[in-house]
């Protein structure tokens, strides 16, 4: 039985190595899905020019709903609570409104808090250029006065087929009630 024992010991040794590799493979597989290192990331800027009754030519967004007593050319009192704004904003790769747009940010935001600036966003980045073809769909809460705010990438199409992830919003500039610019760091954790 001596030979067998040695054989079993040898086998167990090889088993152990194998088991480690398999565990490691399993772990890698797990890590690939659950890792906190993005499988893809990108930074874009978008520029929102709200229609105020006098800037029809270059406005990219319009107030389309407001609470009782408000109108559609001035953002509502109480931190704009209740305003819904529809937008079609140019997306650029740097913070310059004049840079070539690589896509559009299209959808809506609504102001949902009376005692501070908080918005809720549902929109898409739509790309149809050499930069990218496809869409990234996003939704989430935007406590606009925080330095950074995380919303969800809830899906994507084309180059972003089935992607999910987190988009971090940062206010890059605000000019009165008419113009703001957001920097968006998009980290995809499911890339397909």
46 touching a copy of itself, by CB under 8 A: no
Burial class (CB in 10 A: 0-12, 13-18, 19+), 113: middle
Among 45, 111, 179, 180, which residue interacts with a copy of itself (rule: CB under 8 A)? 111
Q: How far is CA 86 from CA 6, 11, 111, 123, in A?
A: 75, 67, 12, 9
11 touching a copy of itself, by CB under 8 A: yes
> Is there a contact between 127 and 102 (Cβ–Cβ < 8 Å)?
yes
Residue/partner pairs of 167-174 with CB below 8 Å, 24 or more apart? 167/136, 167/138, 167/140, 169/142, 171/144, 172/45, 172/95, 173/95
Stretch that binds a copy of itself, among 29-37, 41-49, 93-101, 173-181 (CB under 8 A): 29-37
- The 10 Å Cβ neighbour count of residue 34 is 9
Q: Shortest Cβ distance from residue 35 to a copy of itself (Å)?
A: 9
CA distance 44 to 90: 10
102 touching a copy of itself, by CB under 8 A: no
- Which one, 9 or 95, has the nearer CB to a copy of itself? 9
90 touching a copy of itself, by CB under 8 A: no
* 147 SS3 class: coil
CA distance 123 to 141: 12
* 89 SS3 class: strand
- Which one, 95 or 148, has the nearer CB to a copy of itself? 148
Q: How far out from the chain centre does Cα 31 lie?
A: 22
Stretch that binds a copy of itself, among 42-50, 92-100, 111-119, 175-183 (CB under 8 A): 111-119
- Which one, 57 or 176, has the nearer CB to a copy of itself? 57
Question: Hey, which residues between 168 and 187 contact a copy of itself (CB under 8 A)?
Answer: none
Stretch that binds a copy of itself, among 42-50, 90-98, 103-111, 176-184 (CB under 8 A): 103-111
64 touching a copy of itself, by CB under 8 A: yes
Among 40, 101, 117, 150, which residue interacts with a copy of itself (rule: CB under 8 A)? 150
Among 135, 144, 181, 186, which residue interacts with a copy of itself (rule: CB under 8 A)? 135
């Amino acid at each position: 039985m001596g030979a067998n024992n040695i054989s079993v010991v040898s086998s167990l040794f090889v088993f152990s190595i194998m088991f480690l590799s398999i565990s490691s493979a399993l772990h890698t597989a797990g890590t690939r899905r659950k890792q906190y290192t993005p499988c893809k990331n990108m930074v874009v800027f978008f520029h929102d020019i709200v229609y105020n009754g006098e800037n029809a030519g270059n406005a990219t967004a319009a107030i389309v709903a407001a609470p009782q007593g408000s109108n559609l050319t001035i953002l509502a009192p109480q931190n704009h609570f209740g305003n819904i704004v529809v937008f079609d904003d140019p997306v650029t790769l740097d913070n310059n409104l004049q840079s070539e747009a690589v896509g559009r940010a299209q959808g809506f935001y609504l102001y949902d808090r009376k005692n501070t600036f908080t918005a809720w966003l549902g929109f898409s980045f739509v790309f149809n250029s050499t930069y990218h073809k496809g869409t990234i769909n996003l939704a989430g809460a935007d406590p606009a006065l925080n330095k950074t705010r995380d919303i969800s990438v809830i899906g994507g199409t084309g180059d972003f087929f089935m992607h999910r992830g987190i988009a971090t919003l940062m206010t890059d500039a605000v000019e009165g009630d008419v113009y703001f610019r957001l920097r968006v760091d998009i980290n995809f954790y499911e890339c397909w």
